[in-house]
Amino acid sequence: MNKLRLVFILFMVLAFTGFYTSAQDNKMMYGNTPDSIFPYNSFQKAYKYHFVEPIEFLGAGREKKAPTGLTEVRLGFLGPLDNSPIVPLGLQMLNGAKLALEQANERGGYKGIPYKLMIHNDVGLWGAAANEVIDMDDEGVWAWLGSIDDIVSHVALRATLKCEIMMVCTGDPDPTFTETNIPWAIRVISDDRQSCYALANYVYNEKGHDRMAIIRTGDRYGRVGVMEFMGVANRMGHPVRMEERFATGETDFTMQLKNIKNDKPEAIIVWGNAKESALIVNQIREMGMQQPVYASDRIISQEFLDIAGKNAEGIVTTSQYDPTADNPALKKFQADYRKKFGEEPNVFAAHAFDGMNLIIKAIEKVGLNRVLIRDVLTDRSTFQNYQGVTGNIVLDASWNDVGKIFMGKVENGKFVFFPAAQMKERGHSQSMAGY
């Protein structure tokens, strides 16, 4: 009898495992990872997958009534606005959020009550972001938007869990951000994982390179982004031969570039902010290196083009949206942004505009209740017919945007954009599960 029970239990376990695995075959792979580079997929299928179903919030709060007598509806913002090397990116994100709220107020606000943006600076110091989220809780914000810096976003995420305030991330590209299983945040900008898939496919499959060298910023932005690229390169059979690092604010890269030059790579990848990346490109050419140069998406800026000049010609990067798309909503946003701020909006401004409009849309649907706002923003059906200025937003089961990635190439002194090619699968198409 015991043997029969054991056989029956073993049969049920195997049957359930087989059903579970086959059930994943008809879904999108976690992170929209192509089958050809899915980790360990060359050896065997995993017996268990993660990030298949979204983590739900089962706590109380949906029954709370909206407060009466409000004179403003407060929404939060957290971004690098002072004492940070990425202040220009933070200001663009802030402007995008401001424009969305201004236009919402022109439409009448929330039932005649104006929206007000509660602005908070992240200083990039470990733990400081948590204090800013606590302050937003004290201010009574209903949801908040931010940030760009990886460390700031991770710390703020844990504080927002404790305070139970919905966070809409529109700038942090760290893939691990949504892997925390915290049901109080979504990300509506593609992460470094999708960008690296597109860049690796372009570099190795389309351009046929093999021997690559990387020079990157030494901060978390460079470390995490390059880690994703190198992981993809390894799985494609093209291990990166050399990785050099530099500090933010550095201007002389002679030592790192001499090492790269001596290794004689076929092409070079530069991963960093616009200013340092442009200076590196100039020094690459000054040292007589004529290899093709590829870069991370932060080079898409006028600052990079101005500093690099003619040396920027032909450089290819990735972009989380196409700023030249024939999208009426995008064109209107760009015109409104130029009129108000006197400059072209970048990727952070555009995604902040979309993110803040999503928050407003959720409030208009369910009212002033933090949990119900969270429910709308974590419901993937909310995005099925949503057309933002950045295009369609597609969330996977970890509430991470896996929408389209575009390539940007400098031609005649400006960026020209085109869709990233799909990586070829190994004979079949498989669709979701995490690992």
Whether residues 302 and 411 share a domain: the answer is: yes
Alpha helix (H) residue ranges in 107-149:
128-139
Q: Is residue 56 domain-resident?
A: no
User: Prior bond to 36 cis, omega within 30?
Assistant: no
pLDDT at 394: 87
Q: Is residue 16 domain-resident?
A: no
How far is residue 36's CA from residue 429's CA, in Å, rounded to a whole number?
Answer: 9
Q: Is residue 145 domain-resident?
A: yes
- Each residue of 222-249: b (16+ CB within 10 Å) or e? bbbbbebbbebbebbebebebbbbbebe
Domain limits at 351? 73-190+326-395
Q: Is residue 135 domain-resident?
A: yes
Whether residues 415 and 386 share a domain: the answer is: no
Model pTM score: 0.88
**Each residue of 104-153: pLDDT tens digit?**
999 999 999 999 999 999 976 777 899 999 999 999 999 999 999 999 99
pLDDT at 238: 96
Whether residues 186 and 197 share a domain: the answer is: no
Whether residues 161 and 253 share a domain: the answer is: no
Q: Is residue 60 domain-resident?
A: no
pLDDT at 16: 36
The CATH number assigned to the domain holding 115 equals: 3.40.50.2300
Alpha helix (H) residue ranges in 26-110:
87-106
Q: Is residue 11 domain-resident?
A: no
Our CA angle for 325, 331, 336, nearest 5°, is 150
**What's the total number of domains in the chain?**
2
Whether residues 272 and 355 share a domain: the answer is: no
Whether residues 293 and 306 share a domain: the answer is: yes
Q: Is residue 142 domain-resident?
A: yes
How far is residue 331's CA from residue 408's CA, in Å, rounded to a whole number?
Answer: 19
The span from the first CA to the last CA of the chain, in angstroms, equals 37
Whether residues 294 and 351 share a domain: the answer is: no
Whether residues 77 and 186 share a domain: the answer is: yes
pLDDT at 423: 81
Whether residues 314 and 335 share a domain: the answer is: no
Whether residues 314 and 227 share a domain: the answer is: yes
pLDDT at 383: 78
Whether residues 277 and 201 share a domain: the answer is: yes
Whether residues 303 and 415 share a domain: the answer is: yes
Q: Give 186's Cβ-side CA count (13 Å radius).
A: 30
Q: Is residue 5 domain-resident?
A: no
User: Residue ranges of the chain with pLDDT lower than 70?
Assistant: 1-31, 40-44, 46-50, 124, 425-435
Instruction: Calculate the alpha carbon distances from 41 to 17, 36, 302 in Å.
Output: 17, 8, 41
**Each residue of 321-376: pLDDT tens digit?**
999 999 999 999 999 999 999 999 999 999 999 999 999 999 999 999 999 999 99
Structure-derived torsion over alpha carbons of residues 371, 372, 377, 379, reported in degrees to the nearest 10 = 110
